[in-house]
Structure 1
Amino acid sequence: MSNLILNSLEIRNFRAFEHLQIERLGRVNLIVGKNNVGKTSLLEAIQLYASRGAPLLIWEILGRREESRLRYSDHRVNIEELLTALKYLFYGRREVMSYFGPIQVGSINLLETALSLFVGMYTRQVDEEGKRQWRLLQPEEYDLADSPTPRLTVQIDGKVSISYQLDNTLSPRLLTSEIKEINSVFSVANGLTKRQIGELWDNIALTSLEKDVLEALRIIAPGVEGINLVSDTPASRDRIPIVKIRSIDEPLPLRSLGDGMQRVLGIALALVNARDGILLIDEFENGIHYSAQPDLWRLIFRVANRLNVQVFVTTHSWDCIEAFQQATQENTQNEGLLIRLENKRGKLVATALDEERLAVITREQIEVR
């Protein structure tokens, strides 16, 4: 597992995590725990890390939870609205202009090389070449500076530092990331949208990766022979997946075979599009019958290893844990880990369980959810 993007994980000041450490990560990681222990937040932190703090991704994360209703347009945006929305990302929902330390995500004991994110106050100054540059102010300079301006600041590897404008000229053009991102795909709990499925399909259409998608669909419907996407309606840009079933002449809408097929399609497309990157799946079990889960996990292990994908998945389901354990036990490369999040005396902590301990948990039916 030497090619893993993250061999361990340390998070500071992000959402519910004041300081979280996971000392070991695998190729495929299943995250469990009670409600409100931060399972989805853990996925978000990893996605933020992979995006290298891309501002557009930050607003997408906030939008998923309806923490921000801001939309990108040419209309003016209130600065206070932006700062109020951003505080949801910081531990304790503290005011972002109050300095309690940046959000940090990276490998354990290497936070100086990790992603660091904060909102700072800047002022314009003229450098030695006569160019106007942004300079980060210290708190004691706020009242003395000329026109201090809040800017979203991203630091990578302790070296690269970029700040993004956060004022009433907000637009996508001004929030385009200038740092090379790590490839990542996030399949949210309620599945991918039609637009997302269309984009992911277009990326792999007519390539060998189609075979992996078909193999996933055949876990539920063995008679599937082919898949394509067609226009939803003549006036719509959305497309819907249709499938060819053995012994049936006409293609069928995929959803006519059940919501589970749509969910499996989304997971499979996300997986093959995450090559050399990270796949994130929230609430894996949604829409998927327990009997199909062991084979789907086997497929994920196999394809993730072949395409060099690191996988992070959350679940509330005991059936999902048992299916994961079966696939992990059969995997000869010891690539699966169960990560349990729990609240201990008001602090969120993580415990990583390898295949041997996971086998004991499922055999003895020890509660870990």
Structure 2
Amino acid sequence: MNHLFKEISITNFRGFDSLIIKGLQRINIFVGANNVGKTSILEAAFMLSGMSNPLISNRVNYLRTASFTNLDSARYLFHNVDFNNKPLLKGMMNNGGIRKMTFSPVTIHNETNASSNFSTNQSAIRQLNFEFDQQENKNGFAYHSTLFVKNDGSTQQEADSNYHESLNALFIPVDKNDANATTNFSTLVKHNRKAFVTNALHDFDPSIESVEALPDGLYLKIVGLKELLPISMAGDGVRRMINILSTIASEDYNIVFIDEIDNGMHYSAHKLMWKTILKFVLAHDIQLFITTHNLDCLMGLKNAMQEEEHFRQLTHIYNIAKTRNEGYQAYCYGYSELKEAIDNEIEIRR
């Protein structure tokens, strides 16, 4: 529990000029209107979790779209695509420590002075300078890393050898990605950890007796079927759960980020999905950051917590909204607030 976030502040990152999220729990679910920045919150926290890795900026853009692979796509991390808006990401941890990071670009027209003021989005980024630290009450940052484009057009990184990362984080994007699930499940089989996923998957769908990793992919042993079923023939909900569970369990992660967890899930499976996820989090001592825009998904969560009281203290739901007078706000719902809102048909996604 010492490596979990309890508060995150985001400044000048993507669409946010400023946002503070307090009271983070083991499971944190972000809801809100379209384009309000739910995924951006996951990306900001993911960058904080891997702040010593200069490739993290490329990674978060690649997770959005595989076409954003070059260094210049980092311009979209700056609020309003304005390089004068220097991002600052800060996280308060359960153990009383902090994590903070910022980054600034050097454009192709300004390679010798990274501190000059420039806001044009026509100048290509040639280099990104990262600064990060784990100290709150000190000036500046103790650690530095760089990502830059070489003369031959390739990208190279220079990490700070004096810093040792203590967090291990994972980002699971929207797609079901059967290939990733196969690779990660095969790793579990090698390490004799297959039961972590098969037991959880059986909780989700009792008709699934086991999962088998064969040379040509994953197969499911289903009650009543004479032969194994290829994962590609399974329902979207089962495929999504296999991807999530096998990916999380394939390594000892502290924090996992899941974008649109309900993607591909039928509404009738949401309660089972949440029971499976909540039980899995308890067993593996991890923290989850999740987005959804689906009211049925929230109803499934409410029903799961209503039936299992020990799940109620694990979860906070945050409604992200842009207000006229106070800017971006994160309104926190615990179990009782979520139940009241759903039972009284109060809109909590806006």
TM-score (normalised: structure 2): 0.82
**Matches of 1:331 and 1:171, distance apart in 2:** 53
Distance 1:70 1:168 in 2: 17
Q: Residue 322 of structure 2: which of 340, 343, 362 is its match?
A: 343
Moved more, 2-11 or 19-28: 2-11
Shift of 1:163: 2.4
Of 152, 157, 174, the residue aligned with 1:189 is 174
Establish whether residue 35 from structure 1 lines up as the match of residue 34 from structure 2.
yes
In structure 1, how many angstroms separate the alpha carbons of the residues matched to 2:20 and 2:129? 25
- Displacement of 1:27 in angstroms is 0.3
Matched residues in 2 for 1:190 and 1:17: separation?
25
Deviations 1:171-205 (A, max 9, x none): 465367855262222221122351x2233223322
Q: Is the 8 A contact 2:88 2:100 kept in 1?
A: no
Equivalence for 2:61: 62
1:276 CA drift (Å) = 4.3
Instruction: Give distance in 2, aligned partners of 1:137 and 1:45.
Output: 22
In structure 2, distance between residues paired with 1:154 and 1:193: 36
The verdict on how the C-alpha distance between 1:322 and 1:253 changes in structure 2, with shifts beyond 3 A counting, is same
Q: In structure 2, what is the Cα distance between the partners aligned to 1:285 and 1:153?
A: 34
Classify 1:361/1:168 alpha carbon distance in 2 versus 1 (closer, same or farther; 3 Å): farther
Using the aligned pairs only, state the percent identity. Answer: 25
Alignment of 1:133-148 (within 5 A): 138-139=115-116
Partner of 1:160: 143
Q: Following superposition of structure 1 onto structure 2, how do residues 90-239 of structure 1 map, counting pairs within 5 Å?
A: 90-94=78-82, 96=83, 99-107=84-92, 113-119=99-105, 138-139=115-116, 150-157=127-134, 158-169=141-152, 171=154, 174=157, 180=165, 182-192=167-177, 194=179, 196-207=180-191, 209-219=193-203, 221-232=205-216
Q: 1:218 to 1:111 in 2, by over 3 A?
A: closer
Alignment-derived partner of residue 123 in structure 2: none
Helix, strand or coil at the partner of 1:288: coil
Change beyond 3 A, Cα 1:181–1:41? farther
- Contact kept, 8 Å, 2:170 with 2:253, in 1: the verdict is no
Shift in Å, 1:216:
3.6
- Aligned letter for 1:304? V
Instruction: Give the AA of the match of 1:338.
Output: I
Query: Aligned partners of 2:66, 2:78: CA distance in 1, in Å?
Result: 13
* Aligned residue pairs, count: 326
Confirm or deny: 8 A CA contact 1:31 1:314 kept in the other structure. Answer: yes
Q: Please give the alpha-carbon distance, in whole angstroms, between the structure 2 residues aligned to 1:312 and 1:274.
A: 17
Report the CA distance shift for 1:310/1:177 in structure 2 as closer, same or farther (over 3 A): farther
Q: Is the 8 A contact 1:361 1:367 kept in 2?
A: yes
Equivalent runs, 1:75-94 vs 2, <5 Å: 82-83=71-72, 85-94=73-82
Amino acid at match of 2:220: V
CA distance in 1, matches of 2:74, 2:254: 26
- Matched-pair contact (CA < 8 Å) for 1:37–1:341: yes
**1:224 partner letter:** I
Cα 1:287/1:167, change in 2 over 3 Å:
same
> Which residue in 1 is equivalent to 2:138?
none
Alpha-carbon distance, 1:42 to partner: 0.9
CA distance, structure 2, for counterparts of residue 321 and residue 104 of structure 1: 28
**Corresponding position of 1:285:** 262
Judge conservation of contact 1:293–1:323 (CA < 8 Å) in 2: yes
Rg larger in structure: 1
Aligned partner of 1:332 in structure 2 is: 310
CA RMSD of aligned residues (A): 3.1
Find 2:249's aligned residue among 253, 256, 272. 272
Structure 1 residues 274-321: Cα deviation after superposition (integer angstroms, max 9, x where no partner): 634111111121111222221221221122122121011111111110
Q: CA deviation at 1:362?
A: 1.6
Q: 1:355 to 1:26 in 2, by over 3 A?
A: same
Q: Which AA in structure 1 matches 2:176?
A: G
Whether the aligned pair in 2 keeps the contact of 1:120 and 1:153 (CA below 8 Å) is no
Letter paired with 1:102: P
Post-superposition offset of 1:263: 0.9
- Quick check: 1:59–1:68 contact (8 Å CA) kept in 2? no
Q: Which amino acid is 2:197 matched to? A: V
1:361 alignment partner in structure 2 = 341
**Distance in 2 separating the partners of 1:136 and 1:277:** 38
Greater CA drift, 171-180 or 218-227: 171-180
The alpha carbon displacement at 1:116 in A equals 2.1
The residue number in structure 1 matching 2:296 is 319
CA distance in 2, matches of 1:87, 1:211: 43
Partner Cα distance (2:133, 2:49) in 1:
11
Q: For each residue in 1:93-147, what CA deviation from the matched residue of structure 2 results, as whole angstroms up to 9, or x when unmatched?
A: 11x3xx3323323239x997412222258xxxxxxxxxxxxx986439xxxxxxx
Contact 2:30 2:38 in 1 (8 A): yes
Please report how far the alpha carbon of residue 338 of structure 1 lies from its aligned counterpart in structure 2 after TM superposition: 0.6
Deviation readout 1:11-64 (Å, 9 max, x if unpaired): 111101111101111101111000010011111111111121533332232234
Alpha-carbon distance in structure 1 between the residues aligned to 2:267 and 2:5: 29
